[in-house]
Amino acid sequence: MESPSEKQTILVIHGPNLNMLGKREPEVYGKATLDDINTALKETGKRLGVRVETFQSNHEGAIVDKIQEIMNSHQGLIINPGAYTHTSVAIRDALLLLSIPVVEVHLSNIYKREPFRHHSMIAGVATGQISGLGSDGYILALEFLARRSQAAA
C-alpha cells in the first residue's frame, strides 16, 4: 500500500461565488454546498487511491498563485473558474505553465445560458471540459484524472 506521501495528488480549484453554493441560484447550480462537493471529492479520492486537495477563492490573483504553486507537485487539476472562465487571460496563462492534465468543470451548462457565458478562456488550454452535470461533473473529472495519473505512474 502506498504511503500518503506517495499518493497521486489532484487539486480542485473553485472560483468566485462557489463558496455560496446551496444559497446562490439553487435552480441553476443545485442545492449541494461547496462543503458537500469537497466531502464527496475527498471520499471518492480515497476510494480511487488519490489525494484530493481543494481550494476556493473569489480572487483571480489567488487562483493564479495556487496554479503556479502546484507546477511540480500534483498530477492533475480540476478547475471551476466561475465567472473568470469568460474573462481571465491570467488564469489561462497560468494553466499553460502546467504539464499535468486539467479538467474544466461547470455545474451548469454554460452553452444553454447567456451568450457571454458561451466562451471559455480556459477550454483551449484544458485537457477537457465537463459542463451541465451539476456536482457529478466534479466526480467524473476526478475519476478521469485518477485513472490517467495512475496509468502514467
**Which residue is associated with the grid cell 471559455?**
120
HEC per residue, 86-104: HCCHHHHHHHCCCCCCEEE
Report how far residue 129's alpha carbon sits from residue 33's, in angstroms, rounded to the nearest whole number: 21
What are the residues facing 103 on neighbouring strands?
78, 128
Asked whether the beta carbons of 118 and 106 are under 8 A apart, the reply is no
Beta strands in 62-107 (DSSP E): 76-80, 102-106
The single residue of 14, 74, 84, 106 carrying the catalytic annotation is 106
Q: Amino acid letter at 126?
A: A
Q: Is residue 138 flagged as an active site residue?
A: no
Instruction: Identify the active-site residue in 29, 74, 84, 138.
Output: 29
Residues designated catalytic:
29, 106
